[in-house]
Amino acid sequence: MGEVADRLSAEIKAAMKSGDRTRLATMRLLAAAVKNREVEVGHDLSEEEFIEVVTREAKRRREAFEAYEKGNRPELAEKERAEAAILEDYLPDQLSEEEVRAVIEEAIEATGADAAGEVGKVMAWIMARHKGRVDGSKVNAMARDRLASSS
């Protein structure tokens, strides 16, 4: 059993002892997602692979939250928001909007991108260096706006 599995097991036990049902359910879902990913890749997950799983799960919760908000289901939206907050505790600190703008400028300079059609190059450069620390959809929108304004 790997370090990630040990940590999740400890979190599940702590949530059971504290009686925090939301945290317990979230940790169980995360443990299942981690186990599924380990089966896919055929080995215990590295810290980076674990972060990818947590990022994906947190993104699913945020998307569900937004869908429930639009569907006027505040009780379900709140549940998803709480789960996303629990998962985000496992993620590295996110870059601020100013830091993202600086990274976009750096990526544009490094890739030589000068048109909105080249946002893929910029995204690839950024995600290779800052994966898990930025929201890809927000970076994509900001990079598109920046490249569109330079055209």
For residue 2, what pLDDT is reported? 66
Is the pLDDT at 1 greater than 80, yes or no? Answer: no
Distances (CA, A) of 20 to 17, 27, 33, 70, 75: 8, 11, 20, 27, 17
Residue with tokens 């981690």: 34
Q: How far apart are CA 115 and CA 21, in angstroms?
A: 49
**CB-based contact 92:47 (threshold 8 Å):** no
pLDDT in tens, 86-142: 998 888 888 888 998 999 989 988 888 888 788 888 888 988 888 778 878 888 888
Could you tell me if 64 and 106 lie in one domain? no
pLDDT in tens, 24-36: 999 999 999 999 9
Could you tell me if 102 and 84 lie in one domain? no
Instruction: Enter the pTM of the model.
Output: 0.73
Could you tell me if 7 and 54 lie in one domain? yes
Could you tell me if 116 and 77 lie in one domain? no
Q: Which amino acid is at 58?
A: A
Domain of 19? 3-88
